[in-house]
């Protein structure tokens, strides 16, 4: 066995992150590691890469017990880690970024021998089919190429145990396909690959065997050929979950949100939304698909009044809102589930009850003549906690101490506590586990069936297909296609997300 982790336990203050985890992987084997957030995947990999030391348990490489005091030890033992957030110096070129920490030097002053490093990088990228320009600056490279640089970095250090932490999180579907190709060629040369993800399709696609982690323990193992998405999902969550929330066909009514030729700039004042036309009708869910950073954030912020627009028209229920304040827009019946709940959805240091009334604190029954009616606040917040199944010790608990899923439920409970005509949900399930995703989707479908118009921004194709009645694909600030029903396939949307244009029906 090339790599074996035996009975690894790691405790942080108040949390048992890893509880007797044992896994193993052989040469040329791809081990898929599946688990929800907080299941202990990242802790385990940080132990393997020498960033943390386990409280107990051992790491065996080729049957030999090893202790990693720091990342250098792990690298020395052949473990290469590709972090989810790339660890590359943006202003370095590829040669410098790859060689950092493992430089070839000459002379007493330690001159960096760039030519030697460059030659080795060129040779490696040819050997493994990793197409990279060694002299390009990191910050000018697309994300997919940066990931290849990260892999080169590991190979440059003679790593033959490669850990990929959520590698597809930032990739387009096409880039993800390329990544699978790279993993297969690594496997063919005898490299052991550990592929960490919470996406079910991915492990089924590339892994030879799958380990599912739940609450710091191994919940089960599986072989891709003999398992299903459903089975893996149940294993991850520990109960039966619905991967696709059942919903009937949409019955679209009148147009609620109407957008014409909208132009919006981002924080750097560059055009981010570039002439978007979109209608969302009552009783339908329109999913905006696209790789993150294609203008979705700015579009949503413009709709809810958080960002000034450059040009264009927007109306909700016929009322123009180009220059409306966020409060005015909320009063029109708009519920907003923001992309970054920690920054825009909640005030982390405030309590669940305070967060629950953030949008209506100034009104009756919460405020009377400028003073809070704390009893009314408590009563309503308690009701919200019950209605939305928020798992919190009390309504006086701070938002920061809740889990991601429960934080999101607080946001949803607040937003749905007002009469809702339009829901604008930006990546409402980002970072949530399968169980919470199921819950949020169910609530959105409920609102649709109650007659609300829903606009949801997703970066995951699975989510787009699961909830969207219509799918609008956004690329470089434009809607490049709107697909509905049978047209909305994985392939068609994936192609559009990568920038391939073809004629879709106008919205």
Helix or strand run (H / E) with residue 312: strand 311-316
Question: What is the DSSP track for 94-129?
Answer: HHHHHHTTS--EETTTTEE-HHHHHHHHHHHHHHTT
In angstroms, what is the minimal distance from the CB of 344 to another protein?
17
139 belongs to the binding site for another protein (CB under 8 A):
yes
Helix or strand run (H / E) with residue 320: strand 319-320
388 belongs to the binding site for another protein (CB under 8 A):
no
416 belongs to the binding site for another protein (CB under 8 A):
no
13 belongs to the binding site for another protein (CB under 8 A):
no
In angstroms, what is the minimal distance from the CB of 50 to another protein?
8
> Contacting another protein (CB under 8 A), which of 37, 55, 66, 92?
92
> Contacting another protein (CB under 8 A), which of 220, 293, 317, 342?
293
- Kindly tell me which of 34 and 81 has the beta carbon lying closer to another protein: 81
100 belongs to the binding site for another protein (CB under 8 A):
yes
> Contacting another protein (CB under 8 A), which of 12, 15, 65, 101?
101
Token pair, residue 138, equals 């990191």
Q: Which stretch binds another protein (CB under 8 A): 287-295, 309-317, 325-333, 348-356?
A: 287-295
- Kindly tell me which of 191 and 294 has the beta carbon lying closer to another protein: 294
What residues between 144 and 203 interact with another protein by CB under 8 A?
153, 157, 170, 172
In angstroms, what is the minimal distance from the CB of 69 to another protein?
10
270 belongs to the binding site for another protein (CB under 8 A):
yes
Cβ–Cβ under 8 Å, residues 291 and 172:
yes
C-alpha distances (whole Å) from 299 to each of 126, 193, 302, 329 are 41, 39, 5, 15
Sequence-separated (6 or more) residues with CB below 8 Å from residue 460: 199, 429
> Contacting another protein (CB under 8 A), which of 102, 374, 400, 450?
102
Instruction: Residue 44: name the closest of 176, 291, 225, 211 by CA.
Output: 211
Sequence-separated (6 or more) residues with CB below 8 Å from residue 470: 284, 285, 286, 287, 482, 483, 484, 488, 507
* Contact string 471-490 vs another protein (x = CB under 8 A): ----xxx-------------
In angstroms, what is the minimal distance from the CB of 144 to another protein?
8
- Kindly tell me which of 283 and 477 has the beta carbon lying closer to another protein: 477
Sequence-separated (6 or more) residues with CB below 8 Å from residue 213: 21, 33, 34, 35, 39, 40, 41, 44, 219
Between CA 490 and CA 225 the distance in angstroms is: 21
96 belongs to the binding site for another protein (CB under 8 A):
yes
- Kindly tell me which of 293 and 431 has the beta carbon lying closer to another protein: 293
321 belongs to the binding site for another protein (CB under 8 A):
no
Cβ–Cβ under 8 Å, residues 424 and 335:
yes
- Going 394 to 213 to 61 to 189, the CA torsion angle's sign is negative
| Cis peptide, bond prior to residue 438, ω within 30 of zero | no
In angstroms, what is the minimal distance from the CB of 486 to another protein?
27
Between CA 365 and CA 372 the distance in angstroms is: 9
Where along the sequence are the contacts to another protein (CB under 8 A)?
46, 49, 51-52, 70-72, 75, 81, 83, 85-92, 96-97, 99-103, 105, 109-112, 139, 141-143, 153, 157, 170, 172, 266, 268, 270-272, 274, 291-295, 475-477, 498-499
């Amino acid at each position: 066995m090339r790599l074996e982790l035996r009975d690894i336990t790691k405790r942080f203050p108040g949390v048992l992150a890893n509880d007797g985890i044992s896994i193993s992987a052989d040469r040329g084997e791809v081990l898929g590691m599946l688990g929800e957030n907080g299941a202990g995947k990242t802790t385990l990999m940080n132990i393997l890469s020498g960033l943390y030391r386990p409280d107990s348990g051992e790491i065996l490489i080729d049957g030999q017990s090893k202790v990693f005091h720091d990342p250098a030890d792990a690298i020395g033992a052949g473990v290469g880690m590709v972090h989810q957030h790339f660890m590359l110096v943006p202003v370095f070129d590829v040669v410098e970024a790859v060689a950092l920490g493992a430089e070839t030097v000459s002379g007493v002053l330690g001159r960096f021998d760039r030519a030697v490093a460059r030659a080795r990088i060129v040779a490696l990228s040819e050997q493994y089919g990793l197409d990279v320009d060694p002299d390009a600056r990191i910050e000018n490279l697309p994300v997919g190429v940066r990931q290849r640089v990260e892999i080169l970095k590991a190979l440059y250090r003679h790593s033959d145990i490669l850990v990929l932490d959520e590698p597809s999180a930032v990739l387009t579907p096409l880039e993800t396909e390329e990544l699978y190709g790279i993993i297969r060629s690594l496997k063919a040369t005898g490299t052991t690959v550990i592929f960490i993800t919470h996406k079910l399709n991915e492990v089924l696609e590339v892994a030879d065997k799958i380990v599912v982690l739940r609450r710091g323990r191994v919940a089960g193992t599986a072989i891709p050929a003999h398992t299903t998405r459903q089975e893996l999902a149940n294993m991850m969550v520990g109960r039966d979950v619905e991967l696709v929330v059942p919903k009937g066909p949409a019955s679209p009514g009148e147009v609620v949100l109407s957008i014409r030729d909208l132009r919006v700039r981002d924080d750097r004042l560059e055009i981010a939304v570039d002439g978007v036309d979109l209608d969302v009708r009552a009783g339908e869910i329109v999913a905006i698909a696209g790789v993150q950073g294609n203008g979705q954030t700015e579009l949503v912020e413009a709709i809810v009044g958080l960002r000034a627009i450059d040009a264009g028209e927007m109306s909700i229920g016929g009322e123009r809102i180009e220059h409306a304040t966020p409060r005015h827009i909320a009063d029109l019946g708009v519920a907003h589930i923001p992309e970054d709940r920690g920054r825009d959805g909640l005030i982390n240091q405030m309590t669940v009850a305070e967060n629950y009334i953030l949008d209506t604190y100034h009104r009756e029954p919460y405020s009377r003549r400028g003073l809070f009616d704390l009893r009314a606040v408590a009563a309503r917040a308690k009701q919200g906690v019950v209605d939305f199944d928020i798992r919190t010790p009390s309504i006086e608990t701070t938002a920061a101490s809740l889990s991601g899923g429960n934080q999101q439920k607080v946001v949803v409970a607040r937003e749905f506590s007002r009469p809702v005509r339009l829901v604008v949900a930006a990546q409402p399930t980002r970072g949530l586990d399968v169980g919470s995703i199921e819950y949020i989707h169910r609530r959105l479908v409920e609102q649709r069936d109650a007659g609300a118009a829903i606009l949801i921004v997703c970066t995951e194709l699975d989510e787009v297909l699961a909830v969207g009645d219509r799918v609008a694909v956004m690329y470089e600030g434009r809607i490049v296609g709107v697909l509905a029903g049978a047209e909305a396939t994985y392939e068609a949307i994936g192609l559009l997300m990568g920038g391939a244009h073809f004629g879709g029906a106008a919205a």
